[in-house]
Amino acid sequence: MALVMDLNRNIHRSYQRVRENDYSLNGLLGFDVQGKTVGVVGAGKIGVSFARIMKGFGCKIIASDSYPNEAMAEIAEFVPDVNQ
């Protein structure tokens, strides 16, 4: 989740700007993840944990796994695997 927020808020770019004493916000503002659709590949423990976190942010969750489990089914909508 930290990496998602890092990319969303352009943390690396803002870090470079601060080093150059540039404190402007131009091009640094991200977007709200609330209401966005997030795809999770894999319904293991890590996938379920990430899906719960994203659900807490108000996202719609879709998931894909060869072996769907009930924990992920409560959180996400499963989509068919394209390789099957």
The total number of structural domains in the chain stands at 2
- Residues 43-55 have pLDDT tens digits of 999 999 999 999 9
- Residue 66: the pLDDT is 87
Asked whether residue 26 falls in the same domain as residue 42, the answer is no
**How far, in Å, CA of 8 to CA of 30, rounded?**
5
Q: Residue 7 is part of which domain span?
A: 1-31
Phi and psi torsions of 24, nearest 5°: -75, 155
DSSP 43-81: -SHHHHHHHHHHHHTT-EEEEE-SS--HHHHHH-EE---
Asked whether residue 26 falls in the same domain as residue 40, the answer is no
Mean pLDDT of 18-25: 92
- Residues 4-17 have pLDDT tens digits of 888 888 898 999 99
Whole-structure pTM value? 0.78
Mean pLDDT of 66-74: 90
- Residue 26: the pLDDT is 87
- Residue 50: the pLDDT is 95
**How far, in Å, CA of 78 to CA of 46, rounded?**
16
Q: Which of 66, 8, 73 is nearest to 36 (CA)?
A: 8
